[in-house]
Amino acid sequence: MKSVFRSKVLITGINGFTGIHLEQFFIALGYDVYGTVIDTPTNSNHYQCDITQLAQIDKVLEHIRPDFVIHIAAISFVGESNASLIYDVNVIGTQNLLESLITHNIEPKKVILASSATVYGNQGKEVLDESMIPQPVNHYGCSKLAMEHISTNYFDKLPIIIVRPFNYTGLGQADHFLIPKIVKHYKEASKTIELGNLHVAREFNSIEFIMQSYYKLMISKESSLVVNLSSNQPIKLLDVIEQMNTIAGYSIKVEVNPAFVRPNDIASLAGCTDKLESIIGTLPKLSLVDTLTSMYND
């Protein structure tokens, strides 16, 4: 029988890459963890819910009445071609969640909303900080910025923190994302791999770093702010290939496929960590080599 004193965490999109890791992380810390999924649930603490449908999120929130909310349900693949779906889920879905919390007089201790570093666009700067005016260059980034604007209207009603995660990866991430795609080619001993722009630099943080950041922000006293989830450690794509060559013990041939080169691709994405660390302190950052090695050996 569950203790009535255990805090309840609701994670939207709990069966996605980040949600799966967060669920196990919070269970290990002693929280009662609930989540929404778009498909038929296989876990008694998961609830089928299309967040674009207000009535569905109403039903879930009325039943759970969570102490904390981490909203990560989203169309998170930049290459998604259905623009209207991106906006429906990322913007309207978020508004539905916030409206439902207020309508049902649910007063969570913290609501964390996942935006994205792609809202910055091309800033012409090596390090991106929260004071910069966003300039998103694709529908995904635009939808996340719109979500941020909608959500700031609720700052006076709910204890909200909007996070802008920079790239992160780890075990279980879908193969259409860059790092899992690369690792899969090496695990299959492929002789060649097709990639896009080889000269882009990105942060490739670990899912462990992201989980710790979410937790520290969740229990912090701060709210009504936007903060990067970043390490300020950009890594060139070619360096990732070199690291994988060493891990796998052979060199793969890289071919540039023009179809993978986005015309508005962001040259460099690295986030200033000052604001994050002022709230949660300095967190240990798992090296990319360690992350790549664990994914390759899995």
DSSP string across 96-111: HHHHHHHHTT---SEE
Closest of 218, 222, 67 to residue 130, by C-alpha:
222
Domain holding 147, by residue range, is 8-169+205-230+270-285
12-24 confidence digits (pLDDT tens): 999 999 999 999 9
- Residue range 111-134: average pLDDT? 93
Q: Is 187 part of a structural domain of the chain?
A: no
pLDDT tens string 237-295: 999 999 999 999 999 999 998 888 877 677 777 999 999 999 999 988 778 999 999 99
Taking the C-alpha atoms of residue 165 and residue 271, their distance in angstroms, rounded to an integer, is: 9
pLDDT by residue (tens digit) across 160-185? 999 999 999 999 999 988 999 999 99
Q: Is residue 137 part of a domain?
A: yes
> In the numeric block, which tokens belong to residue 182?
């690369």
Average pLDDT value for residue range 53-66: 98
Residues 6+ apart with CB under 8 A from 183: 244, 292, 295, 296
Identify the pLDDT of residue 122: 84
pLDDT score for 168: 95
pLDDT score, position 268: 78
- 194 belongs to a structural domain: no
- Model confidence, pTM: 0.92
Which 8-state DSSP code applies to residue 88?
Answer: I
Is it the case that residue 4 has pLDDT exceeding 60?
no
Q: Hunting for tokens 């012409």 — which residue is that?
A: 124
The vertex-74 CA angle with 71 and 76, nearest 5°, equals: 125
Burial 149-173 (b: 16+ CB within 10 A, else e): ebbeebeeebbbbbbbbbbbbbbeb
Active-site residues: which are they?
A: 140
Domain-located, residue 101: yes
The answer to whether position 277 is within a domain reads: yes
Find the CATH number of the domain harbouring 276.
3.40.50.720
- pLDDT tens-digit series, residues 191-244: 999 998 888 888 999 999 999 999 999 999 999 999 999 999 999 999 999 999
* 258: in domain: no
- State how far the alpha carbon of 169 is from the alpha carbons of 8, 68, 83, 212, 222, in Å: 26, 24, 24, 14, 27
Counting the structural domains of the chain, the total is 1
Could you tell me the two tokens for 154?
């609720």
Q: Is residue 185 part of a domain?
A: no
Task: Give the tens place of pLDDT for each residue, 118-128.
Answer: 999 988 888 99
Q: Is residue 78 part of a domain?
A: yes
Question: pLDDT tens digits for 279-298?
Answer: 999 988 778 999 999 999 99
- Rounded to 5 degrees, φ, ψ at 161 are -125, 125
Interval 74-107: pLDDT, tens:
987 655 568 899 999 999 999 999 999 999 999 9
